[in-house]
Amino acid sequence: MSAILKVENLEASYGELRVLRGINFEVERGGVTTLLGANGAGKSTTLRALCGMIQRSGKIMFDDRDVSRMPTEDIVRIGVAHIPEGRGTFSTLTTEENLHLGAMARPNKKDEIESDIRKCFEFFPRLQERRNQQAGTLSGGEQQMLAIARALMLRPKLMLLDEPSFGLAPLVTRQIFDILADLNKETGTSMLVVEQNASLALELADHAYLIETGSIVMSGEADAIREDESVRASYLGY
Amino acid sequence: MELFLQQVVSGISTGAIYACMALSVVMIYQAIHHLNFAQGEMAMFSTYIAWQMMAWGFAWWIAFPVTIIVSFMGGFAIERVVFKPIQNAPVLSHIVVFIALFSIFNSLAGFIWDFTIKSVASPFGEGPFMGSTLLGKHQAGMIAVTILMLVMLWAFFQFTRVGLAMRAAAVNPESARLVGIRVETMTALGWGMASAIGAVAGILIAPVVFLEPNMMLSILLYGFAGAVLGGLTSPLGAVIGGFLVGIVENLAGTYLGGIGAELKLSIALALIIIVLVVKPEGLFGRKIVQRV
């Protein structure tokens, strides 16, 4: 399988503070890759660097194009949907408007967009019930569903998910991960998932990388990582 | 009762001026979350452009749209040239630039067109509106134009893609970038639209107060009062707020002894303070609710 995303020697810093120290990783076309690591290891920073939301250097190849100098808006336009930490809800706009915004980077074809919104509502019936409600008043789980639906409206080739379990009850988190697995199977959308809940992430992913203080310390097939003694002890807790 | 009604209607007719100005104040507030102190001077400058074109012999209906387009481009350019470089600077830097723009436009207008008062003809004609002794034709026209602008703005923000993108950029700029919206362009568009609305306000106000470089000084304060009263997040609120300020100002001047023309402006300022203390989001502003 070919890689849809290939990252070489990615570095990023917040001012003087260097957070990423030259990391390399890949996401396979149609596959799910996860970045694991503790708080502050540089997982979210990696996603932000990929999208050009912070200063970065190194080589980022997406879909055989060099995007390492592309501004955020243009990276979105070529099919990268980033669901940021905290879900990035447009809180004073309605649920339906949030979905319309997801399609903002697509050509303005009303019929296609409307039919995609109907598909989102079929997939997430809860969102349909709340379509005219201010998105900020949705529950955490609903907002995460909205964030995923908003990302789908782009018809992305690659989804970047930053802590999908953020602030959710265990049962709801489980539901969200099942949804992601279904989506990956049905649409073949490639995913890069950053997650603190390592056991859930390893179930979903086929490949995993482990980040510690801005460097990748281990990588491999998700199953192999799960069996690793040190990962078990530090991240899975059994 | 007769007197009361009279004062209300005459309040509405001055309120139309404030409503226009409040609308442009809200427009810019939506885009940058600051009040632009130079808004009034920009509107005054636009009015001079219209006046100059009419002095050159162009008809009103040519001068009006051309001025609006020029003002739109001017506002867009000001954002690009002056504010984009300092977009991450602290609030105080912005305020200093607002004040700089204020005095630049004020002096420039005086320099080009001097400080003598000029009169601008009303497009709606002179005399009473439908035989009313309270409402002039011009005032009636102004109210109609203000409401028309409001409806157009509402439709723009509610039903167009660019309007939705502008709202999204104002609510959550980072997320807006992540769905592919060019946030800086949206901000500049907001400046352009605010400046265009200001131009409409200026051109409509000029026949009432006469054109001179300082004509907007107090009107902008009333506009701020209207915008704050109605809620800085609501264009409809701003317009209603503008009318209310006009009415309150008139009634207070009539019924409260001691408040003459000199103290009228303090009423606007008192209103701003009262609203900010009692109901900071204004009458129609949205309280932002966020569940996490």
Looking up residue B94, the CATH number of its domain turns out to be 1.10.3470
Task: Kindly identify which residue of chain B lies nearest to residue A86, measuring between CA atoms.
Answer: B292
Task: Kindly identify which residue of chain B lies nearest to residue A85, measuring between CA atoms.
Answer: B175
- Beta bridge partners, A131, equal none
Does residue B291 lie in a domain region?
no
Distance between CA atoms of residues A94 and A86, nearest Å: 17
Distance between CA atoms of residues B256 and B251, nearest Å: 8
Nearest to B178 among A76, A92, A136 (CB): A76
Q: Kindly state the average pLDDT of the residues A42-53.
A: 92
Q: State the total domains in chain B.
A: 1
Q: Kindly state the average pLDDT of the residues B277-291.
A: 73
The strand pair at A80-83 and A158-162 is best described as: parallel
Interface test with A, best of B157, B179, B184, B286 (most A CBs within 10 A): B179
> What average pLDDT does chain B have?
88
Token look-up 């990252």 returns A7
Q: Kindly state the average pLDDT of the residues A26-45.
A: 91
Distance separating the N- and C-terminal Cα atoms of chain B: 53
- Beta bridge partners, A221, equal A207
Question: pTM for the full model?
Answer: 0.87
Q: Kindly state the average pLDDT of the residues B67-71.
A: 97
Are B291 and A139 within 8 A, CB to CB?
Answer: yes
Nearest to A73 among B175, B180, B286 (CB): B180
- Write phi, then psi, for A20 (nearest 5 degrees): -115, 130
Are A92 and B179 within 8 A, CB to CB?
Answer: no
Q: What is the pLDDT of residue B48?
A: 96
Does residue B188 lie in a domain region?
yes
Size of interface A-B (CB pairs under 8 A): 82
Does residue B292 lie in a domain region?
no
Nearest to B174 among A88, A104, A139 (CB): A88
Does residue B273 lie in a domain region?
yes
Q: Kindly state the average pLDDT of the residues B220-230.
A: 91
Are B292 and A167 within 8 A, CB to CB?
Answer: yes
Q: What is the pLDDT of residue A41?
A: 85
Range of the domain at B97: 2-278
Does residue B241 lie in a domain region?
yes
The one-character DSSP state at A232 is: I
Better pLDDT: A228 or B150: B150
Residue B231 — left, alpha, or beta (φ > 0 → left; ψ -120 to 50 → alpha)?
left
pLDDT band, residue B45 (cuts 50/70/90): very high
Q: Kindly state the average pLDDT of the residues A14-40.
A: 90
Task: Kindly identify which residue of chain A lies nearest to residue B158, measuring between CA atoms.
Answer: A97
Q: What is the DSSP string of A158-177?
A: EEEEE-TTTT--HHHHHHHH
Are A90 and B292 within 8 A, CB to CB?
Answer: no
Q: Kindly state the average pLDDT of the residues B169-183.
A: 93
CB A40 within 8 A of CB A19: no
Nearest to B178 among A82, A93, A143 (CB): A82
Q: What is the pLDDT of residue B107?
A: 94
Lowest mean pLDDT among A51-60, A101-110, B189-198, B253-262: B253-262
Q: Kindly state the average pLDDT of the residues A37-63.
A: 91
Distance between CA atoms of residues B255 and B275, nearest Å: 22
Interface test with A, best of B175, B233, B290 (most A CBs within 10 A): B175
- Give A-chain residues touching B165 at CB under 8 angstroms: 101, 104
Lowest mean pLDDT among B6-20, B71-85, B97-111: B6-20
- Whole-number percent of chain B with pLDDT over 70: 95
| DSSP reduced 3-state for A113 | helix
Q: How many CB atoms lie within 10 A of CB A2?
A: 10
CB A99 within 8 A of CB A92: no
CB crowding B271-282: b at 16 or more within 10 Å, else e = bbeebeeeeebb
No. of helices (H) and no. of strands (E), chain B: 11, 0
Are A91 and B172 within 8 A, CB to CB?
Answer: yes
CB A32 within 8 A of CB A204: yes
Q: What is the pLDDT of residue B74?
A: 96
Q: What is the pLDDT of residue B289?
A: 52
Q: What is the pLDDT of residue B288?
A: 53
Distance from CA of B150 to the nearest CA of A (A): 20
Q: What is the pLDDT of residue B292?
A: 46
Q: Kindly state the average pLDDT of the residues A46-65.
A: 93
Does residue B48 lie in a domain region?
yes
pLDDT band, residue A238 (cuts 50/70/90): low
Max CA-CA distance within chain B? Answer: 61
CB B186 within 8 A of CB B9: no
Does residue B161 lie in a domain region?
yes
- Give B-chain residues touching A150 at CB under 8 angstroms: 179
pLDDT band, residue A237 (cuts 50/70/90): low
- Give B-chain residues touching A84 at CB under 8 angstroms: 174-175, 178
Q: Which residues of A touch B (CB under 8 A)?
A: 51, 53, 72-73, 76-77, 81-82, 84, 86, 88-93, 97, 100-102, 104-105, 108, 134, 136-140, 143, 150, 154, 167
The strand pair at A190-195 and A32-36 is best described as: parallel
Does residue B286 lie in a domain region?
no
pLDDT tens-digit profile of B92-147? 999 999 999 999 999 999 999 998 888 888 888 777 777 766 778 888 888 899 89
pLDDT tens-digit profile of A80-131? 999 998 899 999 999 999 999 999 999 989 999 999 999 999 989 999 999 9
